[in-house]
Structure 1
Amino acid sequence: MSNSALFALREHLKNNDKFTLLDKNNDTIEDINLADKVSFEKEGGNDKYILSLDEETEFSIEGKPVVLKVILHCWIHKDSNAADYLADCQKLHLTNISFLQRNDLMNWLTGQSETSQYIVTSRDQGIKAVDENNNTVASNNATNTVTTSTIIGSTTQTTYSNDRNSGLSELEVIQNEDPVLFKTIQHERVLVDHNSSLRGSKPVDFSYLIKDVELKLVQSLKGSSSSKTGKNKGHVSKNNGPSKSVLRKDPIILIPSATSSILTLSNIKEFLEHSKYINPRDITITTDNDLVTVEKKFEKISRPIRFLIVNNTRMFTKPEYWDRVVAVFTTGHTWQFSNYQWNTAQDLFQHCNGYYFHFNGDEVPQHVQQWNVQRIALDKHQRFKDVEVVRFFWSNLEKSLIAKGYH
């Protein structure tokens, strides 16, 4: 058992010891962001155990150790949903532990699991593995390798240490001292967990998938939490008419105001209602309206939905208008978001569905490929393919509408 702060924290949390946050002057404080230490007091005892919240722990995210304050903050939110936890992390500017890592950490802190794939101790570092040719190979990943030093107990290692100093390899020592163990090692197999199985023989980083899943989970949770008000007041059947909640108001689609955009207010209605794309340059009739309406009947939603399509936010006089935004079309230019409630692509497309329409063969900018947007390609000349493109867009948006409470 390690004497580190992380393992000490685990023991106190497993024993349900009461803890108090302290500032630099050892005064009690409620805000963990301003706290400097944590004090544990065993039930029925007078002894107090104080741990520094700034101490780095063995728990690592993307190879970087996490401080004890982040671990304790995660524990405080053990009963919170992912959306509330993420919002509090952003508010306090603390490291956000992803959904999968958080579950793994909670199981370890509560004692449900004795190991964690994200905790690397000094014992796990620098260990060695023996290959099929009985050669000793260096291993930098203790998680994916079963080594001879793991199999041999501490007493056996002490017995062999003198022989290793005499110039014999570890396998030769084992062969001379314990033939049975040597034969066992020759038939051993490397044990892998689900994480190393996914990575295979090459070090592939799947962290982007974890973040993608978390973003979609947070969006779903926010949508469900927004619909709780209507559900608490009683179920509204189809015969009783539509609900009066904000979610029942006409949803909004934001499109670019740039003249270079392939979809503008002049051609968006024809495109979304009749599945026909017309180049804006070929449209002679211009309009000064800032709003276009499009109506769509979905298969899984009981009533037709009327969408308000706008190319600016001048009419967003109330915060509720942003709650009604269900899709944002982008040309890839970040200046488009300057007047939005969320003025960065990372924040915007965490709260709203993003769509990047482009022509087949056109290069998608590198930064757009990193955004959480759905990239949809149009054919430049074959207009009969527009039907399939529009059908894909509505099908994708329908899933989001259902998650937000439209039924």
Structure 2
Amino acid sequence: MADNQDALSLLRKSIAVDNAPTPSTSEDPSTQADLDISLADATYLVFNFTQAEDGGHHIALPISQKTRFESKAASKAVDLRSVYFTWQNREQQTIRYINAVAAINEELKKAGKDEVVTSLSFQERTDLVNWLNGDIAENACEFIRSLDDNKATRKEADDAAALVAGGDEDIEMRDAGLSDAAARKKEEELLRAIYASERKMGDRNTILRGSKLQDYSGVRKRCADVFLKGRSAAQPTPTPAAPTLTNNPALRPPVKAPQPGRRPEPIILLSPSASSLLRMPNIKSFLVDGIYQPPDNTASSGANILHLTRKLSDDISKHPVRFILVDSPEHFRHDYWERVVAVFTTGQTWQFKNYKWQNPADLFANALGVYVGWKGEVVPETVKGWGRGVLTLQVDKGKDRWRDREVVEDIWRAIEGRMRGKGWGGK
């Protein structure tokens, strides 16, 4: 066996000539029994080169010896067994590779060996296999120290050990005096050997952002060009600002006294949930035209307030009543809550977080609850638990929309009934 042989170079050379090494229990195996063993039982990795391949020689290396491959994930140099095991499992997927590492480590434990196969990260495995295959140049793998660095580090470490072991006095870690040139040189050589073995650590910027500062101003400019152009193409002409709760005169308290017999418009609250079948883009066509259209198929607008006019029963109003539809009570004044006549819900209680009545029992005692779901689907248990205060209706999923009008009329009848209960009648 040759101690000066590099394990990684030998393994790379044997793979190049398609002559893989053999695990063995002996440095010079004499029987087949010494070779027919698992990698966990092996103590040597035997390389047999023919005369045509490398002059013909036999090399056996301890399978537990460290190699030049350094795993950043494990923060250590990887032994020869781990390197050869990774090569044997080069075709395995990550999960199977991890399971195989656990299995061989269990074998090592049962064999009474205080050794483990190092599990490499995906990038480390890929680079190691490509390097052994010859797809990566000798000094191009970031995880493998070059032979020159390896020899220099070993020599400096041996010199430092000999320097410490050779003298009787301790080496004092201090700056030697200018007059003591020999002591200063001796100390500098020792420090140089120590510093050569240190691992270079990066600061926060180099770890998170790399060694070079990146300028992303070009990316921001490109994104702005793409998105702003797309927005301007979708909206070629300026449109007036969508009405909101704060700039809508119908929701502000009147400056002048209201006319006799006139009441403020009733308010219908919608669910802001994305899973709601009825939202701001399609609620008006549903309640006015009696036809359901999915929100994704309707023209979206930025308005958070809508108006619709409905002719109700004469005992409520002899004139058409204008309703205000909003999906958030963010800008509500305290008196607005007395005008809420219906609340559309999906059964999610977070919708009521900013409501005056956050408890569903209190909310639906003061306003009609409306749940609209798909026909054939199960009504949420939360909606069932709210009882008769919530009107439960369903619409068809198909294209035939002639039943939508019946659902809409049921909603308006229930709203009229709740308005009578709140004293909206006779005006």
What TM-score, normalized to structure 1? 0.39
Point out the structure with max Rg over C-alpha: 2
What TM-score, normalized to structure 2? 0.37
